[in-house]
Structure 1
Amino acid sequence: MTMRTSFEVAADSRSTQGKGASRRLRRSGKVPAILYGGNSEPSNITLDQQNLMTLVDKEKFYSTIISLKIDGKSQPALVRDVQMHPAKNQVVHVDLLRVLEDQPLRLHLPIHFLNEASSPGVKLQGGTVSHLRTDIEISCLPKDLPEALELDIGAMNIGDSIRLSELKLPEGVTIPELVHGRDAPVVAIH
């Protein structure tokens, strides 16, 4: 089975490392990055700053598998970390995880809360929604990776809450916290 990829990102191999080399790359419009994991050694690569800036604002970029084209060869990867410059709107460094079809992934997925305003606890009873979690760590194979978790809270009343164990997960997706007995609340209406 093939993996779904949402974005295609061009990359080039790089042989230079260190602070000076990274600064020169950034001045030339490139971003230093590293691709690690899988059964291969870590690879130092460069990404295009302009192309990256169009992607970093998209929530989906962080929770889907991207197709990384390194010197023309395609490699599935997952964005693990994006470091931004503290003063400029500029990416400083990117960490990417190599994805293998048969190895489970662990990552944080965003939660999209649906029907919040139409919930009886908010609309009729004057309650307030407390988002106790905005993302959840999940574990699954790459083929089962959802873009986000949707949670319909349209039937909640004041005093109601939804816990991790009550979430409806897609097939093949698990929450590692539940394995360790931590069934924390996700959302509540007060």
Structure 2
Amino acid sequence: MKIIAFERKKKGTSFSRNLRKIGKVPGIIYGGNKDPVKISMNHNMIYHALKKETFHSSILNLEIYGKVELVLLRNFQLHAYKKLVLHADFQRVDTEKKIHVKVPLHFINSEISPAVKLNSCIISNVISDLYISCLPKNLPKFIEINLEKMEVNTSIHLSDIKLPRGVSVIHSTEEDPTIATAIIPVNTLESDNNSSIEKEKNNNS
């Protein structure tokens, strides 16, 4: 994805407020062996880009006066109740160095799993993204989790996932966190219990 930005020399709360009034978003590019650069961008462009999943987990082409730098979106700030982007931070990317990025998980085939198809389970997606380490060229837009073999009352853990080539997970406090789990709904259990009780009554009468 491409972002058009302009370098800005001024800074401060008052100047940033004036930028927003004319439809601009203040931001900054930092990292690498270069000095930070203060920038401004078109508000509508950034606002709509932030709605796209790939904008948050992809290498972006940020252009300033015809010169393109590879960057990652690292932080952004939204207004508490207005549809307004207040600020955006971008980090330069070195193609020869590993980056640490959160990438989304895409869950597929839950509807054909034995847990859902045969037992009417609900599959709960416990984790929606993973914090990974990889070279920029190996950065996946998402990681796919295939649920087609899930059985009733089972779970998928991090150790069960086949990661893309060149990608490793930066572990959280849990050694092998649960990614998804298949659970029988409470109302289904209650219905089954009531049916069993009713059947037992009929047999005893």
TM category (shorter chain) comes to over 0.9
- RMSD between aligned alpha carbons? 1.3
Matched with 1:64 is 58
Q: Which has the higher contact order (CA 8 A, sep 6+)?
A: 1
CA distance in 1, matches of 2:160, 2:34: 38
User: Which runs of structure 2 are paired with 1:89-168 in the superposition (5 Å)?
Assistant: 89-168=83-162
Give secondary structure in 2 for the equivalent of 1:34.
strand
1:3-37 deviation per Cα after TM superposition (whole angstroms, max 9, x unaligned): xxxx1110000111110010011111110001111
Q: CA deviation at 1:81?
A: 1.4
Q: How many residues align?
A: 183
Between structures 1 and 2, the one with greater helix share: 2
Amino acid paired to 1:76: L
1:149-172 deviation per Cα after TM superposition (whole angstroms, max 9, x unaligned): 000101101122111121111110
CA distance in 2, matches of 1:56, 1:33: 14
Q: CA deviation at 1:146?
A: 0.3
Matched with 2:2 is 8
Question: 70, 75, 78: which one pairs with 1:76?
Answer: 70
Q: CA deviation at 1:181?
A: 7.0
1:104-152 deviation per Cα after TM superposition (whole angstroms, max 9, x unaligned): 1101110000011221101211211111100010000000000000001
CA distance in 1, matches of 2:90, 2:110: 34
CA distance in 2, matches of 1:50, 1:134: 27
Amino acid paired to 1:54: H
1:63-86 deviation per Cα after TM superposition (whole angstroms, max 9, x unaligned): 111100012210011111121111
Percent of aligned positions with the same letter in both sequences? 37
Gaps of 5+ in 2: 184-205
Q: CA deviation at 1:54?
A: 2.2
Matched with 1:3 is none
Give secondary structure in 2 for the equivalent of 1:158.
coil
CA distance in 2, matches of 1:154, 1:163: 15
Return the TM-score normalized by structure 2.
Answer: 0.86
Larger Rg belongs to: 2
Matched with 2:197 is none
CA distance in 2, matches of 1:12, 1:133: 37
CA distance in 1, matches of 2:83, 2:49: 13
